[in-house]
Amino acid sequence: MAVSRAILVAAGSGAFAVILGSLYMNRFESDVSGGTRVAVLTTSRDIPPGTDLTGSMLAIRNVPAAYVDDRAVLARDRDKVVGVEVTSSMKSQETLQWSDLAVRSDARNLSQLVAPGKRAVTVRARSTDNGGNGLMQPGDYVDVFALIDAQGMKTSVLLLQRVLVIAIGLDTEQSQANKGDTRNHRDDRLLTLSLDVDETQLLSLANEQGHLAVVLRNPTDERVFQNMPDLGASALVDARDKVQARKASAFKAPPPAPAPVASVAGPVKLTEAK
């Protein structure tokens, strides 16, 4: 009886170990392959700009969540894009993005623009130019700086890099009508960003400690800086001194050439006359 029970316990333990191993392998394969699959819309043929989308122009592709762009149109939104005009030329098998379509802002909800695993975070951010963020458009990428004032010491911190802007004010699409006088239509300082959960925590903390500033970057530039040092207010003085020293050295007169040294004749050897 004891032997039979031991055999059953061993068999159960073995089965449990097999199940755990299978679950671990499935999780490992999912992480390596980019996570769960997300159904997105792609084009089934080349589409010229100005064409109204039809159902036959669209196909569905399952893509790992890690490789889904925040602007991609999900398969569940197919009915919302059929009949909508394409604003840019598209190749066959290309992933359809909201920025490729002339979609009205009231035709889609902000939540539909948030990719799986991301969060839409709205912040009030300054810009580096005097015109605010008026030249930015949804779909642009920005870097986010935190301007912290702690105990009278001001510091600039590079907080986030290459962050997608999914809305500016109440606008969620690139509108030609808004590129003229944007201040009558939206609050350019109010940006909605697509962030990871840990980035959301970091941004919320920085927002409480100081002000946020954003800088626009080229959408094709995927470079990020590692270990960027924080800059204090003293860095402005140091940078100014270096610039002034560089300018002073550029306009300084070259030192005078050294005076030529007179050559001295050596000893003359006398020879006896024969």
Q: What is the mean pLDDT of the chain?
A: 75
| Averaged pLDDT, 233-246 | 68
What tokens appear for 58 in the block? 């669209």
pLDDT at 183 over 50: no
Provide the pLDDT for residue 161.
93
Share of the chain above pLDDT 90, in %: 12
The topology under which CATH files domain 36-103 is Type Iii Antifreeze Protein Isoform Hplc 12 (3.90.1210)
DSSP code of 178? G
Residue tagged 């084009």 (tokens) = 43
Out of 30-44, 67-81, 175-189, least confident range: 175-189
User: What are the residue boundaries of the structural domains of the chain, listed by start?
Assistant: 1-32, 36-103, 117-245
pLDDT at 51 over 80: yes
